[in-house]
Structure 1
Amino acid sequence: MGAKKKTTSRATGRKKVAEPKGMSASTPSDEMSLHDEEAIEFDDVLSDDRRVAAEEAYDEAINDDDDFEVKAEKYRRRMLALSREAAEERDADMRTRVVKATPLHDAEEAQEQMQLLGQQHTTEELRDRIQETVRVLSKFKEEREEERTRAEYMELLRSDVMELYEYNEFLTDAILLLFPPAEAVEFFEAMEKPRPTTIRVNTLKAKRRDLVQTLVKRGMNVEPLEKWSKVGLQVFESNVPIAGTIEYLAGHYMLQSAVSFLPVMALAPQEKERILDMAAAPGGKTTYIAQLMKNTGVLFANDVSEPRTKSLNANLQRLGVMNAVVTNYDGAGYDKVMRNFDRVLLDAPCTGSGIISRDKSIKTSKHYEDVQRASQQQRSLLLSAIDAVKVGGYVVYSTCSFLVEENEAVVEFAVRRRHVEIVEMGLPFGRPGLTKYRHHRFHEKMQCSRRFFPHVHNMDGFFVCKLKKLSSDRTDVHDAKEEVERTENGLSRRGKSGEKMASKRQRDGNTHAVARTPAKASRLSVPPPKGRSGKASPR
């Protein structure tokens, strides 16, 4: 028997052992190669462990007793599997490099690379890139890539948070304008989590200590709210429906968010006063006012929506409120119906941007036009509330929105048109209202108002401001110098390049407006309403 002939493997470069009988050395080498469109050059992509696997696959095929066709097919399938594994590993590595590199590249370029790979960003990838972008922005001079501007990094952050948290452009820009980048991300994260469940003890019928003991026996894990509230309880878990206990049905407590206690606390109702709750339904704040009044005086509970007054009446009866009169008027004209109230609470209808954790649809359903309509309505309601209160009386204005256009801008509008002043509320916590917002300036006493945020106070986004009426003077008629001029409202994050975004939004049919006066400091606001005919939409 002659010497055994040796050949070399095309796949591995390893010398082959002698072929068994039936496998000719003259067999075309391409019979053992991969006749497949997905075939790749193994020497370039296979890792060391896969090279060993390829050699073992070849040896197994050579020494197998099967026919040549079977041997070739086994080998082909094994090599194809190895090549696919290598390709997937290579693509995964490329995606990782793309994600790590994108903070230093244009967002559009990164997106194009992901599209070429046919991949979408994962949640982890987006979070990592957002954190990296925030890190660079926090130490921009030291960490930024050369020739990259802050605007480019902000645009990357903007696109990533929109994709991760699923907000529309308008609300994304509003949040990024309101907070520094790192805090904005904290705000987005906090809005994804539910707020604590809280109830308010109705002291007209029960005492907090006794109610806690009773509810614990019912299967609720409850504890007193923080020191700022003497009537609040936080529910950690419950084996029974919170709104289904005998105590709830008997009116011993009200299921109510903690942040909604604050406007009533700011109003500070007193016994035997004449008070108006201008937008009262479903009655959480109204019943709290009656509770603090100890069922004395007269409490007018108004709501523009007749169907909603049914739930208002039901809660008043359940909680044992005896001093309330329910009315059904448009709040914007309430001062034409009744006046001389000691105090007025206006928890105004709004976009609800502060309660996204309860209603995720707000992320994409609210646009600038909605804010403009809400702001005009809020101005009419606030002027009516001021006109309805007596001189020396108080008006508390609140919204469940974090947008400046619905808060400071509305109060500023009222302060310029009625003889009122912003006063302290006595609330033990909360961030001061804004006196500066980009290039806009508000009254210096706006810092007496309070803002509440989910990432800071673990509450819904909220705004509360208290006004004291100094006289009945008003300035409804504007002279020529006070006429407002419609222009870009400044919600762009691009600073000095806001004009470019304004022109873009005009092309897109999404124009914004800001009221400007000839004063040195411009004031953020949308044009004042032409009249008071618009009805308030219930919250």
Structure 2
Amino acid sequence: MSRKNRKKQKPVFPKEIPQEFFDRLTAMFGDALSSELQQTFIERPTTFRVNTLRAKTTDILAVLKEKEFELEQVAWLSDTYILRNKEKRDICDLDIYTDAQIYLQSIASMIPPLVLDPKPGDTVLDLTAAPGSKTSQMAIMMKQEGELVANDKNKIRFFKLKHNMEQQGVIKMSSPYQGELEGVGRNDEHSLSADTTGARTKDPSQPPLVGEENWKVTLRMEPGTVLLQEYEQYFDKILLDAPCSSEARFVSTNNKTFGYWKDRKVKEMAYTQRRLLLSAWKSLKPGGTLVYSTCTFAPEENEMQIDRLLERFDDVQVLPVEIPDVERLPIMKEWEGKTLSPEVQKCFRVKPTKDIEGFFIAKLQKK
């Protein structure tokens, strides 16, 4: 049978979260806390932030009040709300969603940009950016002033990133591209880039456009380790929200969320993360800040990545991470017989709840 006619077999997923994963969770946190965490693999309520590049928060709240949406504001995140009485599909039917005046994003996903804290005028990299949730969040924080580079190596994800940046008002619509489209495969290592400038509607109620001389956005489709060869000690701030095994996003009633998990997957992700983190560090300016984050529990993908970076470079300073009103999980002091640097204790593990998924965040400064 030819490859063309051969039917692609659908993956067979386990019906339950693997016991091996729960055993690892117990080894990390002990019986009591592990049992508590097992109750958090649930569907969470819809959360969103107002896209202040497109709308005013007061106007959005007025629309939702008229439509009888019950919201809870997240006090420690700007313009962020939890939907309490309706479903995701209900808010997606509204014009404020289709017009990109709001952006659906999990609360935990908003934390890494908050910790990185990009400012107007900074030179910032979002290394693994698609679909662009954190990229657009950082553009708002930068007030569209400075330079923002967003990269994703996967062609499909790259164009999702581009679409979202246009829709959210981070870049102009239909920005020209430099690079060859033809022959660029889904995971091809060819370059595809777009230099763009910020764009908002000319509605007088909106903040004024930022001039080209003040706002530069570059979208790139490159393997991160290749891209960073062009940017030696270039960035003030780097966000590496690393590809990971996504353990904190497991939902016990949806086996697609955990169907690909294996101990081998953790090791594969750890290898990829290590290469990205080492390359990103070389692209950070002295005095610059890098935030490394994942949505997984595995120490191989979290604490051990920071420990290895400390062993590799003598100019790494781990900064303490404190997030108000967010519960934390213990940081590992050792794992599988390896004692970790005490500096790793300054990292932050978000404890999952009914509203927020687990996350790991490390904030690093180059001396």
Q: CA deviation at 1:365?
A: 3.0
Give the SS at the match of 2:43: coil
Query: What's the RMSD between the two structures over aligned residues?
Result: 1.9
Q: Distance in 2 between matches of 1:183 and 1:270?
A: 38
Q: For 1:408 and 1:246, locate their aligned partners in 2 and report how far apart those are by CA, in whole Å.
A: 43
For residues 28-427 of structure 1, the aligned pairs below 5 Å read 166-191=16-41, 193-225=42-74, 227-238=75-86, 241-321=90-170, 322=198, 323-339=216-232, 340-357=234-251, 359-418=254-313, 419-427=315-323
**Larger deviation, residues 333-342 vs 377-386:** 333-342
- What letter corresponds to residue 300 of structure 2 in structure 1? E
Do the aligned partners of 1:200 and 1:233 also contact (CA within 8 Å) in 2?
yes
Is the 2:245–2:265 contact (alpha carbons within 8 Å) kept by the matching residues of 1? yes
Q: 1:454 aligns with which of 315, 330, 352?
A: 352
- Cα-to-partner distance string for 1:249-307 (whole Å, 9 max, x where unaligned): 22211100000010000110010111000000001000000000001111101001121
Share of identical aligned residues, percent?
A: 31
Structure 2 CA distance for aligned equivalents of residues 451 and 426 of structure 1: 10
Task: Check whether the contact 1:195–1:357 (CA below 8 A) recurs between aligned residues.
Answer: no
1:372 offset after TM fit, Å? Answer: 0.8
Is 1:465 aligned to residue 313 of structure 2? Answer: no
Residues 478-536 of structure 1 show CA distances to partners (whole Å, capped at 9, x for unaligned) of xxxxxxxxxxxxxxxxxxxxxxxxxxxxxxxxxxxxxxxxxxxxxxxxxxxxxxxxxxx
Shift of 1:184: 1.4
1:458 deviates by 3.8
Report which of the two has the higher share of strand: 2
TM-score with structure 1 length normalisation?
0.54
Amino acid at match of 2:358: G
TM-superposed deviation, 1:185 = 1.5
Residue 319 of structure 2 aligns with an amino acid whose one-letter code is V
Q: Aligned pair 1:442/2:328, yes or no?
A: no
Question: Higher helix share goes to which structure?
Answer: 1
Cα offset, 1:186, TM superposition: 1.5
* Larger Rg belongs to: 1
Letter in 1 for 2:265: D
Superposition deviation, residue 202 in structure 1: 1.4
3-state SS in 1 of match to 2:84: strand
Residues 402 and 229 of structure 1: CA distance in aligned 2, closer, same or farther (over 3 Å) = same
- What is the aligned length? 303
C-alpha distance in 2, partners of 1:342/1:430?
29
Equivalent-residue separation in structure 2 for 1:250 and 1:458 (angstroms): 26
Shift of 1:180: 2.3
Q: 1:439 to 1:346 in 2, by over 3 A?
A: same
Amino acid at match of 1:342: D
Which sections of structure 1, spanning at least 5 residues, go unmatched?
1-164, 471-539
Amino acid aligned to 2:230: V
Q: Bigger relative contact order, structure 1 or 2, given CA contacts below 8 A and separation 6+?
A: 2
Give the secondary-structure state (helix, strand or coil) at the position aligned to 2:231. coil
Q: CA deviation at 1:379?
A: 0.2
Secondary structure class of the residue paired with 1:365: coil
Unmatched segments (≥5 aa) in structure 2:
1-14, 171-197, 199-215
Preserved CA contact (<8 Å) 2:16 2:255: no
